[in-house]
Amino acid sequence: MSAFKEGFLWGGATAANQYEGAWDVDGKGASVSDHCTNGTHTTPKRITRSFEEGTLYPSREATDFYHHYKEDIALAHEMGFKVFRMSINWTRIFPTGMEDVPNEAGLAFYDKVFDELIKYGIEPLVTISHYEMPYALVEACNGWASRDCITYFMNYCKVIFDRYQNKVKYWLTFNEINSGTTAMGAILSLGTIQGYEGSVMEVPDDLQTNYQALHHQFVASALAVKYAHDNYPQFKMGNMCIFGAMYPLTCHPDDIIECQKEMQKMNWFTADVQVRGAYPYYAKRFFEENNIVIKKEPGDDEILFEGKVDYYTFSYYMSNCVSADEEKNKAGGNLLGGLKNPYLEASDWGWQIDPQGLRYSLNEIYARYQVPLMVVENGLGAFDKLEEDGSIHDEYRIDYLRRHIKEMEEAVKDGVDLMGYTPWGWIDVVSASTGEMAKRYGMVYVDKYDDGTGDLGRKKKDSFFWYKKVIESNGDTL
């Protein structure tokens, strides 16, 4: 018998901006992701203010969940999913983010999706904002740099909470909220790029603006949690952040201190606010040394404290090393920087594969917060080969997932309270960092390619049949 508890939430994860497509159908507005072009591992994707003729914007069609939701949910059911992580496209409900009245056609779409999930006994796990901020808010008020976004976001939350109160129990406020501490996060998460166009990797780093924007997201998240707790006690409200395990490159004390500082900045800062309900002690020095002054309104601290999340969720893909010496060799990653670890192998995109790092992370996180945890993203982005008979032999993906599940089980044996596991992109979706289709995570293949061709047909990869057995056996058969 595996160590996973009964009722463990096995499933898979997606996000509307990379999966749904139908970007301008039924009254939907454009999100930041709809303004992003495709890129590759070596050529970064770009964001453009207006749409360029002849340029591909992959999120616009993505892998078309909008028109395939019935088929896809049936596949999820066939694998035995207990939970289905997805996001609501903010711009489907409020096309510019600033309307007073929501778009009924958008609301009706998610009713159909949730009904379909419920039909199969699958719990929806809904991310409220997953890189889908209305682009109009970028141009109107520099995104989350403006406090007005709190009001816009709360209007959106109230509408979807009230509407789906009997259909959705598990919610996450912001996807990878700590991405706001990185350059790419300024585009995808904070929207603090008014007037900018160009590479997603070269956004000017303005710490003052971005940390102020993060403060607005913290307050918005806490208000949403509080509203949910006050009105819908059945709701379970979670945070979501990227957790990149970090190791000092050497045992030199300089490296240890540097690593600790990086862990605080990247991995702990946002969760300390969202889980513990207050800015952590080390933020003071970081803000002072970087000339950051957070403007708070009276009552903000109380809101943060009253809007603590019920459980902690995170994405885990890799680990990195940290050194006080900046000249050391860099490893790959989308939002995470870091140095190469000589003991680890990396994916074709340079992301270092470290299953034990997941066990380590689960223990570190649980020791700090003592709330239930969920791994809501994990997986291997890889090139897949579609055989002539329609099969896809992705044993590399099975190997990656198997090794991570084993380490998750070790963490459970260590005593960590783990609620569930939703590997990323269980069906092929557009890559967030590069905009590619070639970087596939799915257990279901989607016939869609980087030149925009493909008939969007779905095919089961070998990992599909493997994961079905994993779920059937509650993690016993790996």
Q: Which two tokens stand for residue 41?
A: 């591992």
Closest CA to 362 of 400, 397, 422, 404: 404
* AA letter at 148: D
φ, ψ for residue 241, nearest 5 deg: -140, 165
At closest approach, how far in Å is the CB of 119 from ligand BGP? 27
At closest approach, how far in Å is the CB of 85 from ligand BGP? 10
CB-based burial label for 456 (10 Å; 0-12, 13-18, 19+): middle
At closest approach, how far in Å is the CB of 374 from ligand BGP? 14
The catalytic residues are 176, 377
- C-beta closer to ligand BGP: residue 155 or 378: 378
- C-beta closer to ligand BGP: residue 155 or 431: 431
Dihedral of alpha carbons 465, 471, 476, 478, sign: positive
Beta carbons within 8 Å of 43's beta carbon, 6+ residues apart: none
Q: In whole angstroms, give the CA distance from residue 256 to residue 296.
A: 33
Pairing of strands 170-174, 123-129: parallel
User: Among the residues of 370-443, which ranges form H helices?
Assistant: 395-414
Q: In whole angstroms, give the CA distance from residue 11 to residue 77.
A: 9
At closest approach, how far in Å is the CB of 114 from ligand BGP? 21
The size of the chain, in residues, is 478
Q: In whole angstroms, give the CA distance from residue 169 to residue 125.
A: 7
Beta bridge partners of residue 313, listed in sequence order: 374
- C-beta closer to ligand BGP: residue 16 or 304: 16
- C-beta closer to ligand BGP: residue 377 or 410: 377
Residues that bind ligand BGP (CB under 6 A): 15, 18, 175-176, 242, 315, 334-335, 377, 381, 424, 431-433, 439
At closest approach, how far in Å is the CB of 131 from ligand BGP? 6
Residue 318 CA: distances (Å) to CA of 307, 309, 321, 335:
30, 25, 10, 11
At closest approach, how far in Å is the CB of 18 from ligand BGP? 6
Count of CB atoms situated within 10 Å of the CB of 282: 15
- C-beta closer to ligand BGP: residue 161 or 424: 424
